Structures are given as C-alpha cells and as structure tokens.
Chains A and B, each alone.
Chain A
C-alpha cells in the first residue's frame, strides 16, 4: 500500500508534465490535487494497516546484481509517520498553490517529482536506493524556486541546489567508502549494519555522512541556504522545504549515519574544549542552531525570514534529539519532525500565501499599519494557532515533541537541555513579536485610513486556503492532544533501531 505513494506521484508528474497543457491551469491543478489526495489516502491506509507491526518489507528485488544493490522498500514506524507527514504536507501544498497560473503543468510536475522522491527516501530499505531518491528530490527544488519564486529567487535556488548537492556528494563519498570497506555482497541497510564496519572507519565516516545529511536538515553552520531558500520559494515550495525536505536530511542522519555507523558516536580517546566525541560536537552544533536561529528570527524585519530562521531553530531540536541516543530523545526527534513539518507548513502558508497575496508586502514596518487582525481575522487567528503550536504550548504537537527531546537531552547531558531551554524562551519571544507586529499592532488608524480600508477590502479567504489551514491545524492539534497515535508506531521502531546499535 505505502509503495503506491511513490508510484502514483511519479506517474502523476509524468502525466501532468507531458500530456496536460499549461492553459487553462485548472486541469493541472485539479489533477495534481487528486494525485496528492490519493497519495495521502495510501499513506493513511498504510499507517493504519501498519499499527502494531514492526518493520515490514514491501518489495525486495535485486536491482543491480553486479553490486548487490536491491530495490527494497521497507516501512517501519518511523517511515510510516514520515510518509503520513509527506502526504499531509503535499495535499496542503497543492491547496496553497491554487493561485499558480503561470506554467501550471510544469509547476505541478516538478512538485510531484519532489513528493515522489521524498516518499521514496522514507521507504527505502537499501542504501543506494535511498540515495537515488534523495537526489531525485534535489533538482525539482531548484526549478520550483527559480521559476516560481520571489525575492532573489535565482540566487537562492542556485545556493540551495549547490548546498544540497555538496551535502549529497559528502554522503555519496561516505556510502561508497562504506560499500568498499564492508566488502559485503549486499547494500541493504540491514545487511550493511550487520557487516561489522571497523570502528576506526566508522569514526571518520560518521561525521562525513552526518554532516552531509545535516546540511539539508539545516544544521548550523551549514544552514544558510535555508532562510534564503524558504523566503525565495513559492509558498508551496517553502512548505515542502521546511515541511518535508529538511526532514529528509534528519531522516538520513538517523537512518544512515547513526544506523550504519553507530561507533562513530563512541567517545574519543581525548577531550578538547570539553568535547569528547562526535556526539558532543553535533549536540553543540544543534544547541547553537536552536539559540542562533531563534535570536536571528527575533531581529528580522521580513515576516517570512522570521519563519525561515525559526525552522533552523526547530530543526536543531530534531538533531539534538537524535544525538541523545536514548529512547525518549529519539522518539521526541521523530515526533518533532512530524510536528515541525505540519506547523512550519501552516506558518509559511499564512505568511507567504494568505497574507502576502493580499498585502503584497512582508515587511513588519508596512504590515504594522494595515491592521490585519481586523481586516483579515481568519489569517490572524490561524497564525495565533500556528504560533502557539510553534512556541510549544501544551495541547499542540510541538509541546510533546520538544518536551521529549529536552528530557532525553537531560539524561544525556543536562547542559544541552539548558541551552535548548534558552532557545524555547527566545522562540516564544520572536513568535510573540511577529504576531504583534504583523497582526495586532496598536497603531490607531485615522479616520481616512479606515475609510480607505473599507473602500478596498482584501479579497475574501478562498476555500482551498481554509481547507489547507484546517488540514494542517487539525493535524497538529490531534497529535498534541493524543500523541499516542504517532508514538505507538514511533516507539517500537526507535527501540529496534537503538537496540541494533548496541
């Protein structure tokens, strides 16, 4: 069932890209929505069917016999949760690109290729198959941003493509080295994990692969593509970038770097600046990312940059959770991937689509004078919902995820928790500031301004916008109120993964 998500996306992309004309855009749009909804349906069905089951092999065929590469799709709890996230994000992304008029068929073709690649990464059971899907997801991002983007789009798109490609080059070097070193006849993740790679090899291969994937996960100091990319991208692409593409990086860190090279996290024989292992190094980078992203978000004057930097901060929690290497921390990291995917999608949708399309500015200085809370109550309240979810208030998915990461980090090293805690406090501050400046500013309008506003009301909120907000909002609320839905699947998978490391 889950494997159909991949195929239907690619088939949809080919059909829309080759057979559907660019005009009128409605056909491509509706067809893309149908494909994405079908993908979501398969993801949900697979998610429900997978309840209580561990790791399930969906397909296993020899793909490149000479090198022992398998076409192997495997789903465990982590995969199923992330496939579900991809389904939700892809439907929401299409709902928020309802206003794409220019070259709509190409837009949705690139979009669906990206989605298909993402589904593929989350389901791959073979190292090189995972890499192939991972790279498939890179190219469409370039075109989505550079063709349909806004602020400095060509610069941002090229920067993103090169960062991604350099990251994947590092990963490829590591994977080839692992393949050559193991001398094993198979490249499945399970097979390679059992191949017994030498500890000294894992020691240098782990950081290479972890950083390679980490670049895409927005790891500080390699995060600089993220804010520019997010800001330049069209709304749907920002939602996907923050929502699922950054998760690809984090997923690679977990599944490949930690899964295959666990001894890379062992303590070194020496200590420098209080760092005694790669684990300390990456935890430090994650904590710096959390605080740095939050502080920079606090200083932005562009609404979308606030969300862009907040992504860096939130992804820091994911990375921190991963390197705790204990059950609760990694559970939290996976849950945070889901949670951030949904919440960041919602934030970008409100800022980039609902607000920007009507006000044509993202500068706080101009938004302050527009009294959006009164003129656009739907956007304001949707942003309040997304904002409090992003801050990590109880009742939303962010709360339980970040809490678990913090508990896990405390068990590993209390200092990390203190650093991350500071990040949460600053996170409340920048969300509050954005909310206040954009929607609830207390500048009192003059009489003629009110008349002016009355004469030129904003376009009403359309049904796709409402549907998208509802889908994402309900997702974060549902997981926040009853996190067991996801945790029941995540916990056994994480347990199995961590158990394999011992």
Chain B
C-alpha cells in the first residue's frame, strides 16, 4: 500500500471532490445574495473548471493504476481512461446546459451533487475490485436519486425520485448478493482473481446464479429490459439537466463497468510489460468459464432492443420516448458486449490470446464509441426538450408543433440529433452503430451473431418511425401557436456546438476512433 500511488491514481476524483466543496463555499459564501442566474453561472463555471482539472488528472495518471499486494483495485489508461475523460466532458456539457434553468434555488448543492456523482462514475470506470465497484456505484446512484428529486416544487420529480430510489435500492441488494456469491466461489474480491479461480474450478450452477444477480444489478443502471421500469418515469419527472446527466454520464460509467466485468480476462492476457498481471497459463479455460455471462447479456440485449423500440412508438411524451429509445440503445450496446463475451471462448480455440484480446479491445472500443457519442447526442436532445418545455409547459409531442418557425435553430439542432440517434449517415450515430455491428460480426461468425445484428438493424429501422414523429411535429405539421420560443444565447451556442460535433464526428469518423485508440490497450 502506497499512499502516493493512491493519490496519483485518484487525482481526477480528488479534483472533482475539491471542486464540489469549492462550489458549495462559493455559492453559499460569496455569491449568496446575487441573482439566481449569476449563481448558476458561477457554480457551473467552478464545476466545469473542476472537470477540466480532473481531465488533466486522468492524463497525468497515465497508465499507473493502483494495486495492493498485486491485487488491482483501480485500473488506469485504456478503457478506463477513455471512459473517464468521456464522463468528465459530458459532465461539463450538462453543467453548461444548466444556464437558464430555474427549477431550483439551491444551485450550489445541485452542482456539488453532480460533481460527486461524476466522481462515483470515475471510480466505477476504473474499479477492478468488487468492493471498490460497490462504493463507486453507490456514490453515483445516491447522487442520481438526489438529482432526480431536485425540483422540489414538482410532484412528478418527487415521484420519479422515489421510484428510482426504490428500484435502485432493490437492485443494489441483488448486486451485493451476487458479489457475495462471487466471493464465496473464489475467496477473493478482485475481478481478476475471481476469473482465475473460476477458470481453475470450472463453471458451476452457482456461478450462473451469481451472474444473473449481477446482471440484474447492472441491468438496472443501464436500463435494460426487464430492469428498465424506472427509466421512463425518471426521465419524465427529473429536472431536464438531471435527466440528461442520468442518460449520459451514468450510462457511460455503467457500461464501462460492464465491460470490465465481462472482459476482465483481457487484463489477464494483455502484454502489459510489468508482471503485475500474471499471465494466465490457461487463457482458454478463462474464456470457456466466462462465456455464460455473454449468453445472459444477449438475452437481455434482445429484450431491450425489441421492447424499447416498440414501446417508444406508443409514447406521446418526448421524454418518455427518449427513455424508451435509451433502452433500445442499451440493447444495441449489450449486443456488442454480449457477443464478445459469449463467443471468445469456443470460437478462438487455436487462436493466440493476443489475437483474442485484440478482438475484445476492438469490441470494447466500439462500445465506448457508441456510448460516448450517444451520451453527447442525448444531452443535446434533453437540452432542446428543456427549452421547449419551459416555453410551452409540457414535453408532449404536440408542444413541438411548428418548432421550425418558433425557433429555427433549435429545430435544426433537434433534426440533426434525432437523425443521429436513428443512425442516419453522415451523422455520428451511424458510425457508432456501424462500428459496433462490424465489431460483433468480426468477433462471432456464424448464424447467431448475424441474426442478432440483423435484428438490431431492423429495429433501428423501426426507430426511425418514432424519431420522425417528433421531427414531423417540428417541421411538417401546422402549429396553432407560432410565437417565438426564446433560448438563452449560451444554451443555443452549446446546443449548436453539440449538433456541430455530431456532424463533424460523423463526417470524419476516424477522429474519435483515433482518440480512443490513442489510449492504447
């Protein structure tokens, strides 16, 4: 145990926590008497500064993780690094969209909770140990419950938070129970140690029980069917910036956790230079025992794609529509993780561990690409919804009628973002899907992966229908009320910047790919 190492590995989290305290001090101490808008601006600025320092911290930490007695607690660089920078950038963007919001007077507390939740997200992106995972997860989840309830004057917000909290508490119990089985099976809490031990002892029925419990716990975080019931209510009731945070940052962190959970054997076999990760003698045994998890994930993935897309068609509230579409997107992403986790074993007999690890890394990168771009797009979508909601008092489909006249810029941003979510090129959503599906087909040849990809593509054709329902209101159908909708210049600027990023990353898909790849294996 070396505290200097610990400090260096947790530099980003530390930066965020300090920023959270600073926000409280500044907001409650320095600018308490100022106008609400000033306080919002100051608090967001401090928060964003914290995020920037934390990004520097991620780069400064480099590839040095943190381990005790050879057991890795926190990894760094590679997948964790990409996810951490992504989380920080997305957090900063959600803070920028806070400007102009009036749902609370407690701005300092709001920003502080956002930063602490983001710190939880950073921890679970890097965690490689069950206990650290649980701590990070709870830090993130508790923050999210509070954020959901932040609009104190709104009954919907309280209801959503209560539902979210009850579901969340239950799923945390499942997760802990699953963790306890893992500990019982292997005698260790390190992901690596668990896989090593189970590879030696072989799969048992108890292992499947443990997986199912863990998938139930994590499935709740990523809103996968059948653990999705909280999502529509929470998306609908939470204040818009909080909903955007839940839909983006929390998703990035949870999916990264799922990646480390599913591919932790990746660390086993990667030539990392040092001997901190012992090279497993029998990598194949590791694949073989672990691919049952993939099968479970695939079942959840198919259910999410089908239920999410079909339920979204019937929605009249745009926030609920976004929630169901988020469930569908979680399904696509799970497909990427599940096929990778289930097919690496049998398919790769005779292939070197490095080749298998390359394929897994490619899948992981494709998942990250998807979730990061999806997160950015969703934040933008919530930004537009929030402006429209403030002007019309509702997020019903009909509130978007005539948006192209009421605010042409906002309508154009909405079109770009929704078409990107539907996966229309040359927007970034297309490349996200494309990358992911190509990675799936690259890993698993044969009928099953192909059928699953075909289903996913067919389902994304379905999704165009409900995205067009919103765009149809915004562009096609006549509006009764044509008074202009005003958005603050900063909000407009941020939303236009998000839309521009979606277009630019779509026209030059290699930009983000190269950036992710620059974090290495």
Residues of A within 8 A of B (CB): 63-67, 106, 128, 131-132, 135-136, 138-139, 142-143, 146-147, 154, 157-158, 161-162, 165-166, 168-169, 172-173, 176-177, 179-181
User: Which of B17-25, B112-120, B170-178, B458-466 is the contact stretch?
Assistant: B458-466
> Do A176 and B475 form a contact, CB below 8 Å, given A135-B424, A161-B464?
no
Interface string of B347-364 (1 = CB under 8 A from A): 000000000000000000
The answer, among A143, A162, A180, for a CB contact under 8 Å with B442, is: A180
A226 vs B441: C-alpha distance in the bound complex, in angstroms?
34
Question: B425, B460, B468: which contacts A142 (Cβ < 8 A)?
Answer: B468
A66 and B513 contact, CB distance less than 8 A: yes
User: With a CB–CB cut-off of 8 A, which chain B residues contact A131?
Assistant: 425
Contact (Cβ within 8 A) A67 B438: yes
Q: Which of B419, B457, B509 contacts A173 (CB 8 A)?
A: B457
State whether the Cβ of B31 lies closer than 8 Å to any Cβ in chain A.
no
With A135-B425, A154-B476 as known contacts, state yes or no: A64 contacts B468, CB within 8 Å. Answer: no
Q: Establish whether residues A169 and B458, one from each chain, have CB atoms under 8 Å apart when the complex forms.
A: yes
Bound complex: CA of A131 vs CA of B435, how far in Å?
15
Proximity bits, B459-500, A CB within 8 Å = 1, else 0: 011001100100010011100000000000000000000000
| A–B Cβ pairs within 8 angstroms, 21 of them | A63-B510, A64-B510, A65-B514, A67-B435, A128-B434, A132-B426, A136-B424, A136-B425, A139-B419, A147-B475, A158-B465, A158-B468, A165-B464, A166-B461, A169-B458, A169-B461, A173-B453, A173-B457, A176-B434, A176-B437, A176-B438
Which single member of A66, A128, A154 contacts B517 (CB below 8 Å)? A66
Residues in B whose Cβ lies below 8 Å from that of A179: 438, 441
The minimal Cβ–Cβ distance linking B439 to chain A, given in whole angstroms, is 9
Q: How far is the CB of A103 from chain B (nearest CB, A)?
A: 8
Interface contact tally, CB-CB below 8 A? 76
Given that A66-B513, A135-B424, A147-B475 are known contacts, is A180 also in contact with B441, CB under 8 Å in the complex? yes
Question: Could you tell me the distance between the alpha carbons of A401 and B201 in the complex, rounded to whole angstroms?
Answer: 72
Determine the chain B residues whose CB is within 8 A of the CB of A172 once the complex forms: 457
Contact of B438 among A136, A142, A161, A180 (CB under 8 A): A180
In the complex the two chains form, is B509's CB within 8 Å of A64's CB? yes
Dominant SS among interface residues on chain A? helix
B287 within 8 A of A: no
B475 contacts across to A, CB distance below 8 A: 143, 146-147
Is B445 in contact with chain A by the CB < 8 A criterion? Answer: yes
B179 surroundings in chain A (CB, below 8 A): none
- Beyond A65-B510, A131-B425, A146-B475: 19 further Cβ-contacts under 8 Å? A64-B431, A67-B435, A132-B425, A132-B430, A139-B419, A142-B468, A143-B476, A147-B475, A154-B476, A154-B477, A157-B476, A166-B461, A168-B461, A172-B457, A176-B434, A176-B438, A177-B441, A180-B442, A181-B445
Chain A residues near B514 (CB, 8 Å)? 65
State A162–B466 Cα separation when bound (angstroms). 11
Q: Chain A residues with Cβ under 8 A from B472's Cβ?
A: 146, 154, 158
Nearest CB on A from B507, distance (A)? 9
- CB pair B461 A162 closer than 8 Å: yes
Contacts of A106 in B (CB 8 A): 404
Bound-state Cα–Cα, A142 to B472, Å: 9
Say whether B468 contacts A169, CB under 8 Å: no
Known A138-B424, A142-B468, A161-B464; contact A173-B510, beta-carbon cutoff 8 A: no
The 4 closest A-B pairs by CB, nearest first: A180-B441, A132-B425, A169-B461, A146-B476
Contacting pair B468 A177 (CB below 8 A) = no
B450 within 8 A of A: yes
CA A157 to CA B430, docked complex, whole Å: 22
Q: Please provide the chain B residues from 79 to 126 with a CB less than 8 Å away from any CB of chain A in the complex.
A: none
Interface range for B: 20 to 34
A112 to chain B, nearest CB (A): 16
Most buried by B among A147, A154, A166, A169: A169
Q: Does B454 contact A (CB under 8 A)?
A: yes
Q: How far is the CB of B339 from chain A (nearest CB, A)?
A: 12
Q: Which residues of the other chain, B, contact A158 by a CB distance below 8 angstroms?
A: 465, 468, 472
Shortest CB distance A201–B (Å): 11
Q: How far is the CA of A251 from the CA of B444 in the complex (A)?
A: 32
A146: nearest chain-B partner, CB-CB: B476
Min Cβ gap A209→B in Å is 13
Name the one of A136, A162, A166, A176 contacting B426, with C-beta atoms under 8 angstroms: A136
CB distance from A114 to the nearest CB of B (A): 13
Given known A132-B425, A139-B424, A158-B465, contact A177–B457 (CB-CB < 8 A): no
Contacts of A177 in B (CB 8 A): 441, 450
A166 to B472, CA, bound (A): 19
Task: Give bound CA distance, A172 to B454, whole Å.
Answer: 9
Give min CB distance, A446 to chain B, whole Å: 42
Bound-state Cα–Cα, A131 to B425, Å? 9
- A258 CB to nearest B CB, Å: 22
Q: How far is the CA of A135 from the CA of B434 in the complex (A)?
A: 13
Complex interface: chain B residues within 8 A of A162 (CB): 461, 464-465
Contact of B457 among A135, A157, A169 (CB under 8 A): A169
Residues of chain A contacted by B464 (CB below 8 angstroms)? 161-162, 165
Assess the A180–B476 pair: CB atoms within 8 A.
no
Rounded to whole angstroms, the CA-CA distance of A136 and B427 in the bound complex is 10
Q: How far is the CA of A179 from the CA of B425 in the complex (A)?
A: 18
> Which chain B positions have C-beta within 8 A of A169?
457-458, 460-461
A64 to B434, CA, bound (A): 12
- Selected contact of A180 from candidates B435, B445, B460, B468, CB within 8 Å: B445
Closest Cβ–Cβ distance, residue A183 to chain B (whole Å): 9
Q: Evaluate whether A64 and B513 lie within 8 angstroms (CB atoms) in the complex, with A143-B475, A147-B475, A158-B465 already known.
A: yes
Chain A nearest CB, measured from B444 CB (Å): 9
CB atoms of B441 and A176 under 8 A apart: yes
For residue A146, which residues in chain B have a CB less than 8 angstroms away from its CB? 472, 475-476
Of B458, B460, B510, most buried by chain A (CB within 10 Å of CB) is B510
User: CA A135 – CA B423 in complex, angstroms?
Assistant: 10
- Across the interface, which residues of A come within 8 angstroms of B442, CB to CB? 180
Separation of A65 and B430 alpha carbons in the complex (Å): 17
Given the complex of chains A and B, what is the CA–CA distance between A179 and B437 in angstroms?
11
With a cutoff of 8 Å between Cβ atoms, the chain B residues found around residue A135 in the complex are 424-425, 430
A14 CB to closest chain B CB (Å) equals: 11
> Which residues of chain A have C-beta atoms less than 8 A from B426's C-beta?
132, 136
0 or 1 for each of B264-300: is its CB under 8 Å from A? (1 = yes): 0000000000000000000000000000000000000
- Measured in the bound complex, the distance between the Cα atoms of B20 and A420 in whole Å is 76
CA distance A139 to B430 in the complex (A): 14
Assembled-state Cα–Cα distance A138/B424 (Å): 9
Q: How far is the CA of A60 from the CA of B510 in the complex (A)?
A: 16
Closest chain A residue to B442, Cβ basis: A180
Q: How far is A131 from B431 in the complex, measured between Cα atoms in Å?
A: 12
Query: Nearest B residue to A153 by beta-carbon distance?
Result: B476
* B497-521, CB < 8 A from A: 509-510, 513-514, 517
Q: In the bound complex, how far is the Cα of B425 from the Cα of A169, in angstroms?
A: 12
- Bound: A166/B459 CA distance, A: 10
Q: Which residues of B have CB within 8 Å of A63?
A: 509-510
Chain B neighbourhood of A128, CB < 8 A: 434
How many angstroms from the CA of A64 to the CA of B438 in the assembled complex?
13
A380 to chain B, nearest CB (A): 35
Smallest CB separation, A166 vs chain B (Å): 5
Query: Which residues of chain A are near B453, meaning CB under 8 Å?
Result: 173, 176
A116 smallest CB distance to B (angstroms): 11
In the assembled complex, how far is the CB of residue B413 from the closest CB belonging to chain A, in whole angstroms?
12
CA distance A161 to B435 in the complex (A): 24
User: Given the complex of chains A and B, what is the CA–CA distance between A147 and B472 in angstroms?
Assistant: 9
Residues on A with beta carbons closer than 8 Å to the beta carbon of B468: 142, 158, 161
> Which of B431, B461, B475: most chain A Cβ within 10 A?
B461
How close is A453's CB to chain B, nearest CB, in angstroms?
Answer: 35
Per the bound structure, the CA–CA distance linking A392 and B124 in Å amounts to 70
Residues of A within 8 A of B461 (CB): 162, 165-166, 168-169
- A139 partner residues in chain B, CB cutoff 8 A: 419, 424
